[in-house]
Amino acid sequence: MTNRGHVAGSDDGSASRSSTATGPGPREALRLGLVIGALGVVFGDIGTSPIYTLQTVFNPSDPHPVPVSTQNVYGVVSLVFWSVMIIVTVTYVLLAMRADNDGEGGIMALITLLRRWNARLGLRTATVLAALGIFGASLFFGDSMITPAISVLSAVEGLKVVEPSLEDLVVPITAVIIVALFLVQRRGTAAVGRVFGPVMIVWFLAIGACGLAGIVDHPEILKALSPTYALDFLFGHFGTAFFALAAVVLAVTGAEALYADMGHFGRRPITRAWLVLVFPACILSYLGQGALILDDPANISSPFFLLVPGWGRWPMVLLATAATVIASQAVITGAYSVASQAAQLGYLPRLRIAHTSESAVGQVYVPWINWLLMVSVLTLVFAFRTSTALAFAFGMAVTGTITITTLLFFFVARAKWGTPVWILGIGGAVLLSVDLLFVAANLTKLVHGAWLPLLIGLIAFTVMTTWQRGREIVTRERAAREGPLQEFIEELHSGKASTVRVPGTAVFLNRGKETTPLAMRANVDHNHVRHEHVVILSLETELVPRVPDAERSVVDDLGHADDGIIHVTSRFGYMETPDVPTALATLDPATTEGSLQLDEASYFLSKIELRRGKAPTMAPWRKRLFIATSYVTADAAEYFGLPRNQTVIMGSHIEV
């Protein structure tokens, strides 16, 4: 993947030369590279939806089956086309992707934008919307568990079409592929990413060609492009069409990826890839499958693979497997990004995050999330065993996330651009009506699997909101123990605190400059020493993805520069992993009198041990959950990039 800095770099002078007769110029080559990269990373999920969507709609084992008839086939295919058009093209490509947070998209970006405009929206409204956004992000974790399971299962199920005797091997082969997929995550996607784009180009050309062949045999299926067929089916046979929507929504799975990965490739490359290749190829495949079902209703067993000529089915199974692995890779990487951003914004504990690419900042690996996802995906594969059974659960996560994203977008549009209320009312009524209709249809599958993503989302939401609340309690109690920093500095300056100054530089990590670092207070109260040069360092997470190095740190001498004590505030974006030594190295020597000896500095951390107290701060079960969640917190020294042999950890305990 390409980071946002590279996207911005496409506008520099070196890339502005026009193309010549010898080939495309640097600017055109960069644009083409971004489009190909987007094809490989962004569209894997939505691009593999044709494998299972129509098969699920007409699945005879569905609790609310859609009978196969000419009228129903036209109606379903028309619903698929217009659902993709309204939700993906209009809601995401034309609207939501214009609401970015310094180039970054996704539901977490919308949350940060809303937090930035609390005053404009009103505190209560902003709080409710932020909670909705967190629940949407929680549903995305459910999506991240279900997508690899249903995608790989649906591809491997092509073996049953090619060779029915291999049916019993579908689940074991799927499990092996999934285990291998998660085992290689630690290596990152940089090396593999270079082949993702070309593979997906071949995929889209192949499914488009197969769909076109089906259309040529039965060109009358093109009539399904008319919205009248969708409307007639929806309102003329509402009972059947309503239940069909629970499966039709599978055609738009992966729409959130268009928005979430916008920061890596930019809005224009994603838009071009969608309109020029992905959208036409997917629609051709749906139309071709519809034509095949009209020809013989028995083809509903696997219309995608049966649309492929006999000689090409083995290659298509292999290509589909590769495409679904790519789709899984995209959503797994998305889960890492969401978890990383949530931790930076205070909704999850500090997690160990590894950057797997020197050139692409967005490529991160979160071990704890990786193994949790692997166990969850394997559990789903062995529990549901078929893609059609899992599809009942899939739609709920997708529709929930889409609906929340649409709602948040309209509030952002009002706060950011001042869009007139009447325009937002009309647009919101239309788009949210479509979204809520899909949500209602999927709720009918509640007892058949739709409960699963809701349960996953509810658990994730509870964990994140509990952590946020517990963190507020601990912060308040810690501030009371630390005491005001300025008073502490005055005591040192006046000599009231009896200390001995020792040579060297000490760096105390703290939450701000209002309170005293616990480790520094303990060092003075118990050891009666302080270093010749002291840096009190506060790290702030900004509501932007990344902060330039030139704007990284600010120095405050606290009014007593002669005492050798300064305060430094280092700012990081919510997509960055803090690196304390690197941040301090960017300080202007003039602001620190050139006295800091960072190579030999001692770093002091305050380790807090949490205990369950009797104060009614939270329900007892939430206290236990908060304390249990704290155990997955990454080692502070490693997280902040501190050298082990120069780090001192001093402990304390706080009751919640």
Section 1-21 average pLDDT: 32
What does the pLDDT look like over 364-373, one tens digit per residue?
678 889 999 9
310: CB partners within 8 A, 6+ apart: none
Give the gyration radius of the chain's Cα atoms.
Answer: 28
At 233 the pLDDT is 94
Section 26-54 average pLDDT: 78
At 29 the pLDDT is 58
pLDDT band for position 595 (cuts 50, 70, 90): low
At 3 the pLDDT is 35
269 forms bridges with which residues in the sheet?
none
Structure tokens at 101: 């947070």
pLDDT band for position 355 (cuts 50, 70, 90): low
Nearest Cα to 448, choosing from 386, 390, 399? 390
At 627 the pLDDT is 92
CA geometry: angle 179, 182, 184, nearest 5 deg: 110
Please state the φ and ψ torsions of residue 504, each to the nearest 5 degrees: 110, 180
At 375 the pLDDT is 94
Three-state secondary structure of 522-579: HHHHHHCEEEEEEEEEEEEEECCCCCCHHHCEEEECCCCHHHCEEEEEEEEECCCCCC
Check whether 472 has a pLDDT greater than 50.
yes
Check whether 629 has a pLDDT greater than 80.
yes
- Cα separation, 493 vs 558, in Å, equals 11
4-449 has which fold?
Amino acid/polyamine transporter I (1.20.1740)
Section 186-209 average pLDDT: 78
- Cα separation, 538 vs 581, in Å, equals 13
- Cα separation, 403 vs 413, in Å, equals 16
> Could you tell me what percent of the chain has a pLDDT over 70?
89
Owner of token pair 């399904």? 224
Section 243-265 average pLDDT: 83
CA geometry: angle 536, 541, 546, nearest 5 deg: 115
pLDDT band for position 267 (cuts 50, 70, 90): confident
Nearest Cα to 414, choosing from 112, 121, 115, 97? 121
pLDDT band for position 445 (cuts 50, 70, 90): confident
- Cα separation, 444 vs 63, in Å, equals 9
Highest mean pLDDT among 309-323, 340-354, 574-588: 309-323
Cβ density class 84-117: b for 16+ within 10 Å, e for less: bbebbbbbbbebbbebbbbbbbbbbbbbbbbbbe
Check whether 634 has a pLDDT greater than 80.
no
At 30 the pLDDT is 56
Give pTM, 2 decimals.
0.77
CB-count exposure of residue 168 (10 Å: 0-12, 13-18, 19+): exposed
Query: What are the extents of the domains in the chain?
Result: 4-449, 469-655
616: CB partners within 8 A, 6+ apart: none
652 forms bridges with which residues in the sheet?
608
Check whether 362 has a pLDDT greater than 60.
no
Section 118-142 average pLDDT: 82
pLDDT band for position 651 (cuts 50, 70, 90): confident
At 591 the pLDDT is 60
Section 241-267 average pLDDT: 84
Nearest Cα to 2, choosing from 189, 227, 212, 259? 189
